[in-house]
Amino acid sequence: MSLGSLFNRIRSNFLYVPSLYGIAAFVLALLSVQFDLHMLSEENIYSWVPSSLFIPIDLARTILGSISAALLTMTTITFSTILVVLTTYLSEFSPRTLQNFISDPKTQRVLGFFVAGIIYSILLLLFLQESDSVTYYISPSFAVFFAIICVFMFVFFIHHVSSWIQVSSLLHYITRETMEKIEKDLPDEKDIAPENPWDDWEGEEIKQIEPSPVKAEQAGYIQHIDVTGMIKQAEKDDCIIRVNAKVSEYVEQGAPFLSVWERSTSCNKAMYRNYITQGPEKASNDTVEFALVKMVEIALRALSPGINDPNTAITCITNLGKILARLGRKHLPRAYHHDKDKNIRLILDKPDFAEYLYTCFHQIRQHGFHDISVLFAGIEAFTLIAHTNSDTVKQAVWEFTEYVLEGIEASELLTLDKRYLNHKLYVLAGVCRRSQDFQEL
């Protein structure tokens, strides 16, 4: 496993932030004790520190014991509240949305504060010893201030949970994070120079050569691919690597998830496993595809007969339209990756925009477009996507719209429904520059 993959796995762990806060509290407790032992032995310190902050040893132990018990109780309530949120996510939204709440920085910081407060109070209770030179201590006052901060953090956490447990807030957070990831990782299409068609000629050439497969040592989901490290290693070995699985895709043990084309010399093909991280769950640092799947699952759950909440499905469709509208203006990653000498070194499976569009809406079309309000929302989302994008995206949207219309029985629509649907389709056809192809239902 590469260092980058190892760091990503550690960083995505739920205990990462609370552990950092706990370590910081441990160091702070040691410094506080040293401050009490050395600084308070100086007589002049009492002249510039309020006397109310100095606490005798017996009262200090009582205060620290009470603070530790109170913070432990608040931490228990916090964990119980988290379990309630996770149960709600499992039953009403999607099991894949659990990670959004667990990995949210605000959730982890609240737990970090509580863990730090407990560790700080218990360590002070352990280390504080009465001596001849020091009879009063100021570090218990620090613990009191820390406990007050934790109380406000607890109130903030209750507000935070009440916001996250609403499906509209969850969809807003997923949409915002996905758009930020798109803006961060993908350049604008207009900023990328047109690609030469002969850049990938080697990719066609190697298809005529039988590659050497590299089988997976264990079963699990692909969580991370160290693209940069794999390209550098392939350049050293003078070979070409193809990854036969995508991030968040499940790979069975013994499956050939890598293909290696050796060129001048043989290489250690098994070492390329180290650049791919596998785990029992999908990647926690969400890809765009995984975020879209979450929103689709929330929409499908809302459309199920047991819940029957079309308004939530409409909100999901609207947000999917916003994300795809932004994605359509970006330059999607190419499948072929080159080294500094423009030689192909790595081949990855990358979806184009039409595949993203199909992934988002084909299940919703099957399970939800029989509801006329959901169908209207879908047509409006298609219009939004096509309105601000290139002709290539407009063509993909219109082709998918024709696919949607194939499943609509016009004879079953009422007069007003048909009228409004025809109007929305006419507007969409104009935006896609297909007015000549438009036919009323």
The DSSP annotation for 54-76 comes to -EEHHHHHHHHHHHHHHHHHHHH
User: What mean pLDDT is predicted for residues 163-167?
Assistant: 80
- What is the percentage of the chain residues whose pLDDT exceeds 90? 10
Residues 225 and 311 in one domain: yes
For residue 191, what pLDDT is reported? 64
pLDDT tens by residue, 21-49 = 889 999 998 888 887 777 665 555 555 66
The structure tokens 């925009």 sit at: 353
Examine residue 23 and state whether it is found in any structural domain, yes or no. Answer: yes
* Structure confidence at residue 198 (pLDDT): 42
Question: Is 421 inside any structural domain?
Answer: yes
- Asked if residue 359 is part of any domain, the answer here is no
Same domain, 232 and 323: yes
Give the CATH number, domain containing residue 218: 3.90.1170.30
- In this prediction, residue 379 has a pLDDT band, given cuts at 50, 70 and 90, of very high
User: Which residue would you say has higher pLDDT here, 145 or 163?
Assistant: 145
Task: Please count the structural domains in the chain.
Answer: 3
Q: Say whether pTM exceeds 0.85.
A: no
Which pLDDT score is estimated for 284? 54
Residue 237 located in a structural domain:
yes
Local structure of residue 188 (DSSP, 8 states): B
The whole-number pLDDT of residue 407 equals 85
397: Cβ contacts below 8 Å, ≥ 6 apart:
357, 382, 385, 386, 428, 432
Here the tokens at position 348 are 């990855």
Judgement on whether residues 205 and 346 belong to the same structural domain of the protein: yes
The residue among 406 and 224 whose pLDDT is bigger is 406
Q: What is the pLDDT of residue 51?
A: 66
Same domain, 343 and 374: no
Please check whether residues 331 and 428 belong to one and the same domain: no
pLDDT, tens digit (0-9, with 9 covering 90-100), for 240-280 = 888 888 877 888 888 888 888 887 677 788 888 888 888 77
**189 belongs to a structural domain:** no
> Which residues have a Cβ under 8 Å from the Cβ of 288 and sit 6 or more positions away?
178, 181, 182, 323, 327, 356
In 10 A of CB 59, how many CB atoms? 12
What does the alpha-carbon distance between residue 325 and residue 330 come to, in Å, rounded to a whole number? 9
Residue 243's closest CA among 218, 277, 196? 277
Residues 378 and 340 in one domain: no
Percent of the chain with pLDDT strictly greater than 70? 86
Q: Could you tell me if 222 and 139 lie in one domain?
A: no
Structure tokens at 330: 């970006």
The parent domain of residue 323 ranges over: 200-352
pLDDT tens figures, 416-433? 988 898 899 899 989 888
Residue 110 and residue 8 share a domain: yes
In this structure, the answer to whether residues 326 and 387 fall within a common structural domain is no
- State pLDDT tens for residues 293-341: 888 988 988 888 888 888 989 999 999 999 999 988 888 777 778 788 7
Mean pLDDT of the chain: 81
Same domain, 334 and 403: no
215 and 89 within one domain: no
Could you tell me if residue 181 is inside a domain? no
In a domain, 105, yes or no: yes
Helix pair angle (16-34, 139-164), 10° resolution: 160
Instruction: Looking at the structure, tell me whether residues 249 and 344 fall in a common domain.
Output: yes
What's the pLDDT score for residue 361? 92
Checking if the pLDDT of 15 tops 80, the result is no
Q: How confident is the model at residue 197 (pLDDT cuts 50, 70, 90)?
A: very low
